[in-house]
Chain A
């Protein structure tokens, strides 16, 4: 395959993922609104917001790191996405999954946050360091059960290559990690709650106490970059979880496969939405303690389960 076709495929893949992620946000906002008994914003509201913020004709910068913050964040989102095969066996949606493995993806998940921390820190607003401190602390703790679960997978499938892991789950629904190693899935799904930052773990953005958290000084196109990344990164995380634990999306017809992908990721996302709608918010130290307690133990148990049984 020539490099131009590959680039074309990647661009298609990224655009599809971004649009899907943003539409997912819109749908979830609509669902929340219906639960409240409201009409809610239209499903395409996130797109209008991005167009509007890009169209703002004044943009304030606080320095070079401030410029780079959103860029790093988007790079983190792109990096996470580009090394995950979205649809198993598809040429267009395989991305660069042959070039990198699970560890690289995990690194990219963290990378964006760190870049954002540096950028938002230069904004000078006192609320952004508070948000960053909370965000990074929470992030470090929910990485623990996720990493343990990934180690369990690595032992189980004897590889860190995501494509191979997906390939091992094909054939029957009983081949999914959900059924072959349920403990690892439980640990990872709990850490997904932290990753998605829905209600029990939404202290980072905390619109009431520290308005909006890290991106408080971000304006105009900086904010639009972050919003785009929110769609892309959200989709990438869900696709990663679908690949690792729920058998991935595979079908001979690419559109059917896309439909399977949308269905599975939507259900995975709904899990954290339902939890978020039902539970009140944790304080930072509570959420850290939570992640280091049961999910970590379940993660260790999943490794023992794989290693000895």
Chain B
């Protein structure tokens, strides 16, 4: 393969950003996400321990499940003792909690926030609605399976699950992170086209870049 072919392939690999206007296209990145190779085995193990012990959740309540996050911060449930803290910016947080049903309007913001989160990122899907639609399975505006649009690490079933079950979900997530099983970000990067196709199938007015860096 010579240099010219490589360049062509790189060009094809670039995202089209068709949802943006000609002028906006220069302002956004058109690079695709690439899977991240893990570091040395022991370093990665140590970092995974740190990631598990310091889970910063994105303060974005998507749907009714967000109401279950508030008691978690109070003295009754006290999530801070597990190293879990809320964080207002997607840039700084590592856990995304999908709080219950996600409507079409929300999924657009969910995708955007999820893509803006940095580094190893984990998703906890809360409530039955995220699993199979729950009581909104026949709704015209509620998506049924959240894992078709973003990769999910842990499901917490129930309608609504109580804060205790959410804490149990967090502890399970910690175990999985320490075991190195939570690789949602790489899964998203590898199956990027499939996820994008699913997202674009339902979000008709795609007016953001194809990948929000």
How big is chain A's contact interface, by range?
Answer: 20 to 34
Q: 1/0 per residue A45-74: CB within 8 Å of B?
A: 100110111011111100000000000000
Known A52-B54, A211-B89, A218-B91; contact A39-B81, beta-carbon cutoff 8 A: yes
Known A55-B47, A207-B88, A223-B92; contact A36-B118, beta-carbon cutoff 8 A: no
Q: What residues of chain B have their CB less than 8 Å away from a CB belonging to chain A?
A: 36, 46-47, 50-51, 53-54, 56, 59, 75, 78, 80-81, 83, 85, 87-89, 91-92, 94, 118-120, 185, 213
Which residue from chain B places its CB closest to the CB of A124 in the assembled complex? B27
Which residue from chain A places its CB closest to the CB of B82 in the assembled complex? A41
Chain B hits for A216, CB < 8 A: 88-89, 91-92
Known contacts A49-B54, A53-B92, A211-B89, then 14 further A-B pairs from the complex at CB < 8 Å, ordered by chain A residue: A33-B78, A33-B81, A36-B75, A41-B81, A42-B81, A49-B56, A52-B51, A55-B50, A57-B36, A58-B36, A59-B119, A207-B88, A212-B88, A223-B91
CA distance A33 to B74 in the complex (A): 10
Known A55-B119, A59-B118; contact A45-B83, beta-carbon cutoff 8 A: yes
Whether B120 pairs with A57 at a CB distance below 8 angstroms is: yes
Known A39-B78, A207-B88; contact A52-B94, beta-carbon cutoff 8 A: yes
Whether A56 pairs with B120 at a CB distance below 8 angstroms is: yes
Quote the shortest CB–CB distance from A227 to chain B (angstroms). 10
Quote the shortest CB–CB distance from B60 to chain A (angstroms). 11
Quote the shortest CB–CB distance from B122 to chain A (angstroms). 12
Chain B hits for A41, CB < 8 A: 80-81, 83, 85
CA distance A243 to B53 in the complex (A): 37
Chain B hits for A55, CB < 8 A: 47, 50-51, 119
**Is residue A217 within 8 Å, beta carbon to beta carbon, of the partner chain?**
yes
Task: Provide a sorted-by-A list of 30 A–B residue pairs whose CB atoms are within 8 angstroms.
Answer: A29-B80, A36-B75, A37-B75, A38-B75, A38-B81, A39-B81, A40-B78, A40-B80, A41-B83, A45-B54, A45-B83, A48-B50, A48-B53, A49-B56, A52-B50, A53-B92, A55-B47, A55-B50, A55-B51, A58-B118, A58-B185, A59-B119, A60-B118, A207-B88, A216-B91, A217-B91, A218-B92, A219-B119, A223-B91, A223-B92
Whether A33 pairs with B80 at a CB distance below 8 angstroms is: yes
Which residue from chain B places its CB closest to the CB of A37 in the assembled complex? B75
Quote the shortest CB–CB distance from A33 to chain B (angstroms). 7
Quote the shortest CB–CB distance from B123 to chain A (angstroms). 16
**Is residue A161 within 8 Å, beta carbon to beta carbon, of the partner chain?**
no
